[in-house]
C-alpha cells in the first residue's frame, strides 16, 4: 500500500522521506471498546451487515496544509527507562523540516524590540545603493524609532558600520555602553560622516535621494511567525455542538470570526443581505444552511434564512433561569421550529432522515437524541464514522 511504503516495521516513517498533508508519520490502530451499541450503530449494522471493524485508525498524520522532509525521529520507551506521562508506554517524536525563502508577511526583528513585517521584496538591482554601488539588504521605516524610544538600534547601526570598517568587535552592555562621543569618535576614525548618514541612490532611477539616510550594520533575525503557517481558508468544516457555529482558529479548521464591530461596519455600509447571510446560513441557522446547500445543488433559488441556533440557545438559557420567554408578533405567538442538532460535522433535517431511512426509523432516531454523523457534508453515507 502506497500510504505505508515509507514506514518501517514498527510503523514509524523513515528519515529522509518526503511527506505531504495527510501522509502517515506514525501508524497506529486502537481497539474499539466493547460497549453497548447505540441506536446509530445498530442502524449501521443493519445497513452494512454485522462485519464492522474491531479497530480504528488513530495514526498520526501530517496536518492539513503542511509538507516537508523528515529530518529526525526520537523514540521514548518506558521499557528503556524513559520517563513518560502516566498511561503512556511509548512516545514517538517526528521532526519534519521545510525550506522557506523569506516572503511578504513574514515577521522579523532586531535585538531591541524593533520587530516588523516584511512588506515588499525587490530584486537586488532595484534596492537603494551606496556611493560605491553596494545595495542595502533591508530598509526600515524611521517612524519605528521615536515613539518606541529604543535607541539601542541606532547605536548598533552606527557602531556596527564603524566596527566593520575598522575590523573591531564591539561589546556594548545594556544601559552602560557607548555614549554619543564614543560613537562619533568611532565613525570619525573609520572615515565616515559624524552623523552616520550617507547619500543613497534610487536603484530604479539612479537618482540620489533628497536627504541623507542612516546606514549601518545590524543583527536582524527571522521570527517563527511565518505567513505560510498563518494562512488559512475554510469552506465547510466542524461546528460547535452547543452554538452550531463554526469553530475558531486554524488548528480546529475553523471559520473567520465576524464579530460585533464587523457587524457594525456592514450595518453602516448598508450591506443588509451580506450581513443577513453572515449571521444565518453561513453560520448557525441549521435548517437554513441545509436548505441553502440543497438549493445550490438543485439549481433553485435560495430560500429565506431562518432562526440562528444562538438565538435558540439564548432562549433555552433564559428558560433555565425560570424566565418564561415567548416569541410573538403583534397578532400571535410564534412557535420556534425545533432543529435537529447532529455532531460537529453534519447537518441533517428530519425530512432527509425520512427520505433515507423511512418515517418510523427517523422518528426513532430523533427520540434517541440522534448525535452521530450519518451524513457527511456532501450528503453521502459514511460507513467509517
Q: Is the pLDDT of residue 308 over 80?
A: yes
Whether the predicted pLDDT of 282 surpasses 80: yes
Of 115-124, 135-144, 285-294, 343-352, which range is least confident? 343-352
As a whole-number percent, the residues of the chain with pLDDT over 90 amount to 46
Residues 84, 78: Cα–Cα separation, whole Å: 7
Closest CA to 156 of 128, 134, 183, 136: 183
- Please give the pLDDT value at position 355: 55
Alpha-carbon distance of 135 to 123, in angstroms, equals 10
Task: Classify each residue of 337-352 as buried b or exposed e, where b means 16 or more C-beta atoms within 10 Å of its C-beta.
Answer: eebbbbbeebbbbbeb
pLDDT of 347 over the 60 cut: no
Q: Over the stretch 201-227, which tens digit does the pLDDT of each residue have?
A: 999 999 999 999 999 999 999 988 777
Cα–Cα distances in angstroms (integers) from residue 145 to residues 61, 74, 119, 232, 340, in the given order: 45, 44, 18, 33, 57
Helix runs in 2-151, H state only: 39-48
What residues contact residue 264 under an 8 Å CB cut-off, 6+ apart? none
Residue 354 scores a pLDDT above 70: no
High-pLDDT (> 70) share of the chain, %: 84
pLDDT tier at 359 (50, 70, 90 boundaries)?
low
Q: By mean pLDDT, which of 239-243, 284-288, 298-302, 311-315 is the weakest?
A: 239-243
Tell me how far apart the terminal alpha carbons of the chain are, to the nearest angstrom.
22
d(CA 351, CA 356): 9
- Helix residue ranges, H only, 304-380: 309-320, 350-357, 359-367
pLDDT in tens, 89-103: 899 999 999 888 899
Q: Is the model more confident about 333 or about 13? A: 13
Mean residue pLDDT of the chain comes to 83
Domains of the chain plus CATH, in order, are 2-97 (2.40.50.150), 107-222 (2.40.270.10), 235-334 (3.90.1800.10), 340-385 (no CATH)
The 8 Å CB, 24+ separation contacts for 291-298 are: 291/349, 293/347, 293/379, 297/379
* Full-model pTM: 0.60
Q: What is the mean pLDDT of residues 52-76?
A: 85
What does R_g of the chain's alpha carbons equal in angstroms?
A: 31
Q: What's residue 252's pLDDT?
A: 82
Amino acid at each position: 500500500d502506497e500510504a505505508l511504503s515509507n514506514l518501517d516495521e514498527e510503523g514509524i516513517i523513515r528519515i529522509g522521506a518526503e511527506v505531504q498533508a495527510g501522509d502517515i508519520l506514525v501508524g497506529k490502530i486502537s481497539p474499539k471498546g466493547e460497549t453497548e451499541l447505540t441506536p446509530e450503530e445498530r442502524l449501521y449494522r443493519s445497513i452494512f451487515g454485522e462485519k464492522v471493524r474491531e479497530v480504528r485508525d488513530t495514526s498520526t498524520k501530517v496536518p492539513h496544509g503542511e509538507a516537508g522532509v523528515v529530518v529526525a525521529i526520537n523514540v521514548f520507551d518506558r521499557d528503556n527507562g524513559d520517563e513518560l506521562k502516566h498511561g503512556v508506554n511509548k512516545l514517538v517524536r517526528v521532526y519534519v523540516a521545510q525550506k522557506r525563502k523569506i516572503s511578504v508577511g513574514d515577521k522579523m526583528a532586531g535585538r531591541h524590540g524593533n520587530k516588523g513585517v516584511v512588506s515588499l521584496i525587490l530584486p537586488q538591482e532595484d534596492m537603494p545603493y551606496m556611493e560605491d554601488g553596494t545595495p542595502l539588504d533591508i530598509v526600515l521605516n524611521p517612524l519605528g524609532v521615536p515613539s518606541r524610544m529604543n535607541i539601542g538600534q541606532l547605536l548598533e547601526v552606527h557602531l556596527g558600520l564603524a566596527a566593520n570598517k575598522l575590523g573591531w568587535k564591539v561589546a556594548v552592555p545594556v544601559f552602560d555602553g557607548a555614549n554619543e562621543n564614543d560613537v562619533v569618535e568611532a565613525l570619525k576614525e573609520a572615515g565616515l560622516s559624524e552623523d552616520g548618514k550617507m547619500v543613497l541612490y534610487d536603484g530604479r532611477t539612479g537618482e540620489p535621494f533628497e536627504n541623507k539616510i542612516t546606514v549601518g550594520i545590524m543583527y536582524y533575525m527571522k521570527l517563527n511567525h511565518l505567513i505560510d503557517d498563518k494562512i488559512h481558508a475554510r469552506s465547510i468544516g466542524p461546528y460547535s455542538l452547543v452554538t452550531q457555529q463554526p469553530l475558531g482558529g486554524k488548528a480546529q479548521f475553523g471559520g473567520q470570526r465576524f464579530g460585533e464591530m464587523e457587524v457594525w461596519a456592514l450595518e453602516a455600509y448598508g450591506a443588509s443581505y451580506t450581513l443577513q447571510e453572515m449571521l444565518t446560513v453561513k453560520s448557525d441557522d441549521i435548517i437554513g444552511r441545509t436548505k441553502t446547500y440543497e438549493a445550490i445543488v438543485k439549481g433553485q433559488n435560495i430560500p429565506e434564512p431562518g432562526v440562528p441556533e444562538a438565538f435558540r440557545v439564548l432562549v433555552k438559557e433564559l428558560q433555565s433561569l425560570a424566565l418564561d420567554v415567548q416569541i410573538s408578533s403583534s397578532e400571535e405567538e410564534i412557535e420556534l421550529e425545533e432543529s435537529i442538532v447532529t455532531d460537529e460535522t453534519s447537518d441533517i433535517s428530519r425530512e432527509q432522515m425520512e427520505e433515507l431511512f423511512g418515517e418510523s426509523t427517523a422518528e426513532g432516531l430523533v427520540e434517541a437524541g440522534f448525535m452521530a454523523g450519518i451524513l457527511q457534508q456532501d450528503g453521502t453515507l459514511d460507513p467509517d464514522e
